[in-house]
Amino acid sequence: MSAWPDPGEFNVTIRDETLHSTEVTEILLRLCSYRLSARDLISERVEAECDERLADKAGRTGPRHVQPDEVEKTLNTGTSPRAPDVGRRIALALSAFENNGFVLLVDDRQIETLEEQIDISESSIVTFLKLTPLVGG
């Protein structure tokens, strides 16, 4: 039995930062659990960004960690964008985490493994700190 009550849905602040820039982009991510694995948190983030990208509602101008590859760019040159391959994107993000492409911090605590359990709340700050370029340089 969990020490946390079932919260229903709540928003948590997600920050995107890079080592080579002072720019910080923040988004809200809707979660349904106060405790989840790093794998689940990364997956939720990627899925939400893929949904946002397809809907194109947010009008974000900052860099995104989820970028279309060349095939998707070619397919999306027409009038109606195609849905990104969410499963493939999640796999790429999980691999990037495991290969030190980015660091995941929750309330300034570094998360070390995909299976690590994270306690999170509405006041938590989740930072995706990009260490190396994930796409094309």
Residue 118's φ and ψ, nearest 5 degrees, are: -120, 130
* Segment 74-104, tens digit of pLDDT: 555 554 555 678 999 999 999 999 999 999 9
79: CB partners within 8 A, 6+ apart: none
For the chain, the structural domain boundaries read: 38-56+86-114
Q: What is the pLDDT of residue 136?
A: 56
Strand partners, 26: 15
Q: What is the pLDDT of residue 133?
A: 56
Stretch 30-52: mean pLDDT, rounded?
92
Q: Which 8-state DSSP code applies to residue 13?
A: E
Stretch 103-124: mean pLDDT, rounded?
96
